[in-house]
Structure 1
Amino acid sequence: MTVKDYCLEIQKLLTEVGELNWAKCFENFISELEVSNDNVTYRKIISIYGGMGAFDDVVLYKDGVLCEQENDTLYQLKKELYTQIVADWK
């Protein structure tokens, strides 16, 4: 999968569980990747991985219930997205 494909999958998952702030963030990445697949967008994506309240800290809940399967999927997608960016870095 491409970086854009990973962003699309993550955005879809986040939207399904109602995590709309992060979903919007990924919508923006997708739009940027449609225009240009460059290091600027990659840097923006990588930057959400660190610090307090970062994307790595996201735990998905829906209606107050922990979404175990969705969290497992999100964890895997986050890891694969990061790996793909590193592999594509120019």
Structure 2
Amino acid sequence: MQINIDKVDRIILLLEENIKLLSENDEKRWAEVLIRLKRHYIENDNNEETLSLIRKLFGGAGTFNDVVLHKDGKPLIEENNQLEKSRHELYEECINKMTQ
């Protein structure tokens, strides 16, 4: 069974993509933050408050933007590139949804 992307909320898909990348690369704390936000987003009918909470992950020092995936003290280049792309798409999608 194939999922129709048009009928699935893109925010949920992007949250899931980020959660997967984080979980697979031992960033359990950040994965948990996104899991809680995804739950909140779904339970509160995709409201603007949750979009705002997600956007706040991206501002300031020590935030989601600062996460660097690594193994044995070495940055994981491919995984970090994927994470950066997915993070950026999540942020942009939140902005787009808030301005609709």
Give the TM-score taking structure 2 as reference length. Answer: 0.84
Taking only the aligned residue pairs, the percentage that are identical comes to 31
The reply on whether 1:15 has 2:23 as its aligned counterpart is yes
Task: Spell out structure 1 runs of 4+ moving beyond 3 A.
Answer: none
How far 1:29 sits from its partner (Å)?
1.1
How far 1:86 sits from its partner (Å)?
1.0
Q: Secondary structure at the match of 2:68?
A: coil
How far 1:54 sits from its partner (Å)?
0.9
Is the deviation greater in 57-66 or in 2-11?
A: 57-66
Equivalent in 42, 55, 69 of residue 60 of structure 1:
69
**RMSD after superposition:** 1.2
Letter in 1 for 2:50: T
How far 1:65 sits from its partner (Å)?
2.6
How far 1:50 sits from its partner (Å)?
0.8
Q: Which residue is equivalent to 1:78?
A: 87
Give the TM-score taking structure 1 as reference length. Answer: 0.93
Q: Which residue is equivalent to 2:13?
A: 5
How far 1:32 sits from its partner (Å)?
1.0
Q: Which residue is equivalent to 1:41?
A: 50
CA–CA separation in structure 2 for the residues paired with 1:25 and 1:37: 17
Q: Which residue is equivalent to 1:32?
A: 40
- The number of aligned residues is 90
